[in-house]
Structures are given as C-alpha cells and as structure tokens.
Amino acid sequence: MKAVLLNGSPHTAGCTYTALNEAARGLSENGIEAEIINIGDKDIYGCKGCFACRKTGHCIRDDIVDQTAEKIIEADGMIIGSPVYFSSPNATLIAYLDRLYAAYGDKLRFKPCGCIVSARRAGTTSSLEVLNKYQFIEQMTNRTFAY
C-alpha cells in the first residue's frame, strides 16, 4: 500500500512538514509506503474554469499538478497538509487542489484522504472545512487533524 502526503507549505521543512512526517512515520510503521510531495513552494496558477480538462483528461497548464496527479491516482490514500496563516489554507495549495480535483477528481472518488493543518493561532477549523469540501465532493473517506 502507498499514501501520498501533500505539503502545502512554502517552508518545505517547517511545521506542516513536521506533522506530515509524523503521519508518514506512523504509516510506515504499519507497512504503508508514504511519499511527501512539496507543492507549497511551487508557482501554481489557479483554475481558470476553461473546462479543457473535461475534454483532454488533464489540465492545459503543464506544471506540478499534472506532474503529480498520476502518483496520487495510483496511491491507495492521500493526506493533505496546510499551514494556516490567515484563517485559511495556503493559497498555493488551494490553487493546486482546485485544478487537481477539476481535472482528476473522478479518479480520486472513494479514495481515503485526511487533512492536517498547522496553526499558531485561530483558523484551523475554517481551514479544515475548506480542505474537507474537496474530499466530500468526490465522496472520499475523510479524517482530519489540527496540529
């Protein structure tokens, strides 16, 4: 079994990574291969609603979304990690997820998925709500954690 963990933080070795690394350790201890993919430090454009992905099966922008989609599709599960800066998930992560779910959401249906958010102050509940909605749209099994 394999799980993909998405690090939405621009700090590739920061608090969100630390939380995801702990999750990866727990998965590994239970025989599940875990791969952390850093996306928060990439330049990712938001979805422009062109719906070309519905015709082509992939996003027209050739960047990390298309480059990592197959790993996520092939994985048995996924964990999404985001820092909370201003009471919401990182904007780069949102751009990534908007495009991932628009282009590949049907291939993620029923896949187990969890969320981890890392915050110093408030905003964990609203951030988890935003991240969970992606999974609920595709009827994914969900577990959430605030760190």
Tokens encoding 37: 């993919």
The model's pTM is 0.91
pLDDT number for residue 29: 97
Tokens encoding 99: 């495009």
pLDDT number for residue 146: 52
Nearest-angstrom CA–CA distance, 80 and 9: 11
Residue segments in the chain with a per-residue pLDDT below the cut of 70: 139-147
pLDDT number for residue 90: 93
Nearest-angstrom CA–CA distance, 119 and 89: 10
Question: Residue type for 18, please?
Answer: T
pLDDT number for residue 134: 85
- Report whether 60 contacts 52 (CB < 8 A): yes
Nearest-angstrom CA–CA distance, 76 and 91: 26
DSSP state of 47: P
Angle, helices 91-108/64-74, rounded to nearest 10 degrees: 40
